[in-house]
A and B are shown apart, each in its own frame.
Chain A
């Protein structure tokens, strides 16, 4: 068996202390093989995004172990970590600096890591995400939502990371653009041999992109299952079944509400 690209054991994340203590993630474990695509699913507040943020250092790791590419992550993360793992954020309207051109946004990671021939790398990164060189000197306000998200993906990929953390990368986009971006992500994963961890509340998106997935609820792992099982409606856990039912749309004689 190959060494997993991302290995998370008993991860817990706690914010605040005393009465303000919030256990955002409780004892979650999963691992992702190199080149695979793993989904984290759950309702709002289930802690799925916090898992991603804990991996890349935006949230504290309060307990457990996170291994990326065979190495335990250090706090604060070092530069080599950021060359291995990159993240794409949910809202493309908030994740690009409003006063920086695309060129500046893409050249920043290259400058930080002292990369050579930035010009060629930027043009290549734009080409990879299906944008021409004409986009290079535009400001974010001159781009559509889908184009912005492509720029965000290009920025994440320009350092050639091995693992890409995707935090609801399409939920802020409309349906047709969503499909374009998902197909682009799928194609990039195959072409560049990337490993994905995808967070989404949308089961269809996860089933489209991922092989295996973890269902989360209130910070706890509910069930680890496969996309195939999800599609055929075979879910062991009641909560997962409710989630599947909810994603199929509104039915008048619906299910029993899941009691919290």
Chain B
């Protein structure tokens, strides 16, 4: 936001959003959202990160239209194996004569599926454990936090490996294993946030109105924990993608012939010196998407974390 001087009269929509006297719940909420967006869009790297994440989502949705070849059925094994990048095959072909570009495009679905499911499973578990432990305190806090400690005591990838080995290899079990191992830090963050607000006057005030404990936790504590948790989850997305890719690389995640970036890097390892593109292309995809999530998380932290802002 460098060009536009502030003297210009705000347009109708802008004035409506920034009105100091909103006329409805929605206007108040949208106004807040708009202010957040304005702060967010001042950070070019964060916008770049958001762009990458949006691109990932679009590619995953329209994979059928974007990919020129089938991701599973290869071409002629005698003539089309391990071809270098060209106009016909943008990212080259792999050892089974499959178009790598198509596989990377379809692989975005797997990646997005993993990221979404882990976020949907792990965030609520961590949030619930943390806020309940922090708000109730006492023995509830001790029990829940010791459970969290047990999970935190293991290295994440090793624990995920153990879970996948027990549950059997496959992308769904990999998702469950990653979700089970990634909630403890969220519980810790939610608990720390809860501890700072549980003794504040506005919680005492709602207690004095006769609110029940679940009502206080859900309606008053959770909204204040949510923003720092969203930031943390977004920053963790890169790690989740890498863990999923790592499990795929070890053959414990997605099973062939399912296109998954980590498993694709694993097959490319055999041809790394002579046919570099087999491993490099999916590797670059992992790198770009991880970086995108990291940049987005950084930008969100600047907007959502009240301690970092101003």
Q: Give the B-binding residues of A (Cβ under 8 A).
A: 56-58, 77-79, 81-83, 86-87, 89-91, 94-101, 103, 108-109, 112-113, 134-135, 137-139, 142, 152, 155, 159
Give the residue of B22, B201, B202 whose beta carbon is less than 8 angstroms from that of A137.
Answer: B22
Q: Which of B210, B212, B215 counts the most chain A CB atoms within 10 A? A: B210
Task: Tell yes or no: B223 within 8 A of A by CB.
Answer: yes
Residues of the A chain whose Cβ atoms lie less than 8 Å from the Cβ of B96: none
Q: Is B20 an interface residue (CB 8 A)?
A: yes
Of residues 74 through 123 on chain B, the ones whose CB sits less than 8 Å from some CB of chain A are none
Majority-rule SS of B interface residues: helix
Q: Does B224 contact A (CB under 8 A)?
A: yes
- In the complex, are the beta carbons of A58 and B23 less than 8 A apart? no
Beyond contacts A58-B208, A139-B32: 14 other A-B pairs, Cβ-Cβ < 8 A, are A86-B208, A90-B201, A94-B202, A95-B201, A95-B202, A96-B205, A97-B220, A100-B220, A101-B28, A108-B209, A112-B210, A137-B24, A137-B25, A137-B28
Asked if B207 contacts A94 (CB within 8 A), the reply is: no
Given A58-B207, A112-B209, A139-B32, A99 and B223 contact (CB-CB distance below 8 Å): yes
Decide yes or no: A138 and B25 within 8 Å by CB, A94-B202, A112-B210, A112-B215 being known contacts: no
Contacts of B216-239 to chain A: CB distance below 8 A: 219-220, 223-224
Cα A56 to Cα B206 in complex, Å, equals 12
In the complex, what residues of A have CB within 8 A of residue B22's CB? Answer: 101, 137-138
Residues of chain B whose beta carbon lies under 8 Å from any beta carbon of chain A: 20-25, 27-28, 32, 200-202, 204-212, 215, 219-220, 223-224
Chain A residues contacting B220 (CB-CB under 8 Å) are 97, 100
Q: Which residues of B contact A87 (CB under 8 A)?
A: 205, 208
How far apart are the CA atoms of A138 and B27 in the complex, in Å?
Answer: 10
Give chain B residues whose Cβ lies under 8 Å from the Cβ of A108.
Answer: 206, 209, 211, 219
Contact A94:B201 (CB < 8 A) given known A101-B25, A108-B206, A138-B21: yes
- Report the minimum CB–CB distance from B109 to chain A (whole Å): 35
**Cα-based distance from A206 to B203 in the complex (angstroms):** 27
CB closest residue in chain A, given B202: A97
The interface residues of chain B lying within 8 Å CB-to-CB of A135 are: 21
Give the interface centre of B32, B202, B204, B212 by most chain A CB atoms within 10 Å.
B202
**Residue of A whose beta carbon sits closest to that of B224:** A99
Distance from B181 Cβ to chain A, minimum over Cβ atoms (Å): 31
Q: Which of A89, A98, A99, A134 contacts B204 (CB 8 A)?
A: A89
Cα A159 to Cα B189 in complex, Å, equals 36
Which residue of chain A has its CB nearest to the CB of B212?
Answer: A112
Closest to B207 in A: A58
Q: How far is the CA of A98 from the CA of B205 in the complex (A)?
A: 13
Query: Are the CB atoms of B205 and A155 closer together than 8 Å?
Result: yes
12 A-B residue pairs with CB within 8 Å: A56-B208, A58-B204, A79-B210, A83-B210, A86-B208, A87-B205, A96-B202, A98-B202, A101-B28, A113-B209, A134-B21, A135-B21
- Give the shortest distance, in Å, between A37 (CB) and chain B (any CB): 20
- Whether A112 contacts B201 in the complex (CB less than 8 A), given A138-B22, A139-B28, A139-B32, comes out as no
Task: Closest A residue to B29 by CB, please name it.
Answer: A101
Of all chain B residues, the one with the shortest Cβ separation from A90 is: B201
Q: Is the CB of A159 within 8 A of B209?
A: yes
Given the known inter-chain contacts A97-B220, A138-B20, A142-B20, please indicate yes or no for A113 contacting B205, CB distance below 8 A.
Answer: no
Q: Give the residues in chain A near B23, CB-CB below 8 Å.
A: 137
Across the A-B interface, the 3 shortest Cβ-Cβ residue pairs:
A95-B201, A82-B210, A137-B22
